[in-house]
Amino acid sequence: MALPGGVIVRLPPNWDHDRALNWARSQGVPLGGVVAGLPGTYRIPTDPGLVALRKAKALRKDPDVRAAFPDWWRQATRR
């Protein structure tokens, strides 16, 4: 596993894109793309490494955030 950068954030699913964008601005982070198939889930770009981990931990403290975690990279292997 590695931390290539980025945080996955889950916001309330009933929020529209504008409200999510306003939330991101209030947090001082850019709102990246929507994670396909997961309503209210966005990718927030960050620098790689511990920066992503620390940003995820900081965003988790916000009461509007349902979940926040680094966008971990895992090497795919066959079973």
Backbone angles phi, psi at 53, to 5 degrees: -65, -45
**Quick one: pLDDT at residue 1?**
80
More confident residue, 1 or 70: 70
Q: List pLDDT tens digits, range 25-59.
A: 999 999 998 998 898 999 999 999 999 999 999 99
- What is the Cα–Cα distance from 2 to 28, expressed in whole angstroms? 25
Q: List pLDDT tens digits, range 4-29.
A: 899 999 999 899 999 999 999 999 99
Query: Which residue from 27, 33, 37 is spatially nearest to 64, judged by alpha carbons?
Result: 27
Domain extents in the chain: 7-70
**Quick one: pLDDT at residue 57?**
96
